[in-house]
Amino acid sequence: MKNFDSGAVKKNWSARRKTVEPKEINLSQGDLVKLSYLRPGETLPCLAQPAFDGVELSAWVESHRGLIEETLHRDGAMLFRGFNLRGLDDFHEFIAATGVELMQYMESATPRTELKEKIYTSTEFPADQTIALHNELSTLNTFPLKVYFFCVQPAERGGATPIADVRKVLQRIRPEIREKFIEKGWLLIRNFGDGFGPTWQNSFHLSERSEAEEYFRRAGIEYEWRGGERLRTIQVRSAVERHPQLGVQVWFNHVAFWHISSVEPKLRELFLKEFDAHQLPYNTFYGDGSPIEDAVVEELRQAYRQETVSFPWQAGDVLMLDNMLVAHGREPYSGERKILAAMGEAYRRPRR
């Protein structure tokens, strides 16, 4: 029998351990998330997905703010999908990681509920209605450059948030129409207190007339008290703006959204029986107060349609938009749908 050499065995076992122990893999933050697009040939939105299970999205976002900004400036929208985000707190953490300061939702047209620190439910508009494409708060002198949506629960059917690049929308509008809006701007009239739409208190989130009047002065809004709680507001804005970082022209307004020709036919007929063009709950005009032709508004709607991209929500999705580059809307839906929304990075348009 051979002598047992314990020292040799220990030496051999130690060598074997060195060859079979797993190697430590050091991944850079850039390796953790892969960027692509939803469909071949489409660059809206840019799709961000985890390369591995368990990627902490907020940490990646915080260390890649420059890349996210660069991507938004190129594509206009980013969709973060597959990161196992579940609810309001996850959404709040994501926004905090972007470093964007959030804004209060002002001059609202549809009801929303604030859930946490300027994070809201998406519009609580009837589920069977379409919300036309628009850039958030384009009626304000100070508006958000960033808009966020988070899908807690997708609808059973429908309920997508369609988006469109308004750089491209602008190019689809005939030059003579573009130039007319560039020259004149656009005018919005809203009437409160006639039984349609929100009250002025709900829209402006103020309770006292003196507070409202101070806000109107700061916001560049003309106003007229018309007896009781009835109020008319008038504001003139540019229809075409320049992106503050990119310098590119964008179609940035609510011209088609608020125009009476965009209202559902039966409701439009009812409105026009009760009110003239300046007494409607809302209506848009050229900036000099002259009427915008229905055919022109239809051309604007067609330009949006030609650039619209739509995709179904998945639970946990976060959609981040450059609000000056990309318009958004909402498709009708059935079944419970829960989408959260927030907006931030306030920008004040230059004085003309």
Residue 22, beta-bridge partner list: none
| Residue 125 pLDDT | 85
| Residue 2 pLDDT | 41
CA–CA distance from 66 to each of 29, 62, 139, 326 (Å)? 13, 9, 29, 19
User: Which residues neighbour 14 within 8 Å (Cβ) at sequence distance 6 or greater?
Assistant: none
Tell me the pTM.
Answer: 0.89
Looking up tokens 């003579």 gives 176
Distance CA 257, CA 284 (A): 9
pLDDT along the chain (352 residues), means of 10: 44 41 42 93 95 95 97 98 96 98 86 88 89 96 97 97 98 98 98 90 93 95 94 97 98 97 92 92 97 97 98 98 98 96 95 70
Distance CA 294, CA 250 (A): 22
DSSP string across 201-225: HHHHT--SHHHHHHHHHHHT-EEEE
| Residue 31 pLDDT | 85
Helix (H) or strand (E) holding 90: helix 88-98
| Residue 10 pLDDT | 43
Q: DSSP label at 316?
A: T
| Residue 178 pLDDT | 98
| Residue 23 pLDDT | 34
Distance CA 236, CA 220 (A): 8
